[in-house]
Structure 1
Amino acid sequence: MGKQLLKAILFTGLIFISWNFYAQTKGIKLSDLKPISAFFEATTVEEEIVPEINSTPKEIRKEVLKVEETFACNITLDSDSGTDNQTVCPGGTIDQIDYSVDGGGTIAVSNLPNGLFVIPSFDGDAITIIGIPTESGIYTISATGGTCVGTEEVTGTITVDPTTEGGSVSGGTIICEGSTSAQLTLAGHVGDVVRWQSAVSPFSSWTDIAKYL
């Protein structure tokens, strides 16, 4: 038993001397070496847990209320006052009628009496009405688009007087100059009575009658 212990001590010493010599040749310090028991110890790994932070900012939805101020467009009579409502004799030419609309709208005309026609502007925001009407009627000027809210409208009237008729006179008698005539009655006439006139044979010259019933 003593011999075996001695052999073990010598063997261990020999190993230590050999390892020391090897470590010196390799530049290894014995103080850097862990004891053999350290190889059997549990290794503790410290892990730093960093909470995950979402780098993407939370999306905030915003609704932007867009308010547009809308103004109604205006249709303007650009010709002389009163030209939108005219009365003409048959075969007569109307005075030129001009309309325009503001706010970028487009203007149009409908129900125009026969014989009249429209000259539109290049941009469509103005029109001119001219011609010789053959009938009476109420026309409509309308404007749409641009700042017009829906359809803006104005109206005008063209009146063509009917062809006048003189009618016939009854109740007359043959009288001498300076005498008083019997009652004369006019019938079958078309249009307003403007005046009465009288003449003496051979009826080449007519004179207005100052008063009549």
Structure 2
Amino acid sequence: MPANGHPVSLDEGQIRMALNSLEFMTPGKDSSSPLFDAPELDVLARYLPSALAQAGPEEDVAFAVVGNFKAVYGLAKEQMYTSGRVFYRDGKLNIIFGDIHGKYWANADRRLYPLAPGSRFKSTVHTWALLNQPDQEFYSGPEGQRTDWVVLDLASMEARAAMGEKAATTQAPAAVPYYGAQKSVEERLQTLNDLKNKKLITDEEYQQKRLDILKDL
């Protein structure tokens, strides 16, 4: 593996922007959700810049955060964790996820149930599906595409955000572009195909949603 671009100087705003752009879906849901809640974003935006500034070229930064999210039936909230490893390479932020919104047991023996950060060498077995947003892509290696490993182009994100701010000030009341906004028909069809290939939706659901998307043409 090529060496990381560490140490690297990134600020809280850059980290928050990158993490706030991440969305995912789980089986049984027909809409995406933000990957991190506000308290998790606060923790990661505060500590990741310092960790990346101290890391060496051969070191990754591992993290695990715990948030409170609605239970399956929405009657209460339960603790769920998200874990991963972060590194900066070739001008882009890489995140390999070990788990997303996994059930968190506070008293579990971490020797038996570790909050694994994900691996460069072995894909994480998962049922969740990360959604590609603008300026994001899945890592592709010798064994193909890794859907647990997302690469974020921070410079492109910042440029897009700056263009949105400029449009908002010069063309009021123009809407500022944001991550998670309505996708193009082509992007929506690609996302739908990804969900079908991962068997997160049935063939019947796939056909129905495909027709719904094509109606927007």
Using structure 2 for the length normalisation, give the TM-score.
Answer: 0.18
Name the structure, 1 or 2, with higher relative contact order (CA <8 Å, separation 6+).
2
Q: As a proportion of its length, which structure holds more helix? A: 2
Q: TM-score, normalised by structure 1?
A: 0.18
